[in-house]
Amino acid sequence: MAELTTKKRNNEPKSDFGLPEERKYPMPDKSHASNAKARAAQQEKKGNLSAADEKRIDRKADRILGK
């Protein structure tokens, strides 16, 4: 996965995030999109993320991944 430094992350447009209002789950490329899907599933399973937010992240990641 390409490194996403704090500076790069802060310069990413909100549209590159799975949860843009919180700037969480960055998806500037396919490897980050795949990782965001996995992390969202983990957090939803732990109860730290709502099912609706996980689905939202999955939909965005799937668009980036071409699914």
What is the residue-level pLDDT of the chain in tens, covering all 67 positions? 678 888 988 999 999 999 999 999 999 999 999 999 999 999 999 999 999 999 999 999 999 999 8
Distances 49 to 4, 5, 12, 34 between C-alpha atoms, Å: 23, 24, 22, 17
Q: What confidence score (pLDDT) does residue 67 get?
A: 86
Place of tokens 């732990």: 46
DSSP state of 12: S
pLDDT value of residue 4: 84
**Residue 2 near residue 29, CB atoms below 8 Å:** yes
pLDDT score at 46: 97
Q: Residue 31: its pLDDT value, please?
A: 94
Each as own residue / partner, the long-range contacts of residues 15-18 (CB below 8 Å, 24 or more positions apart, any chain) are 18/56, 18/57, 18/60, 18/61
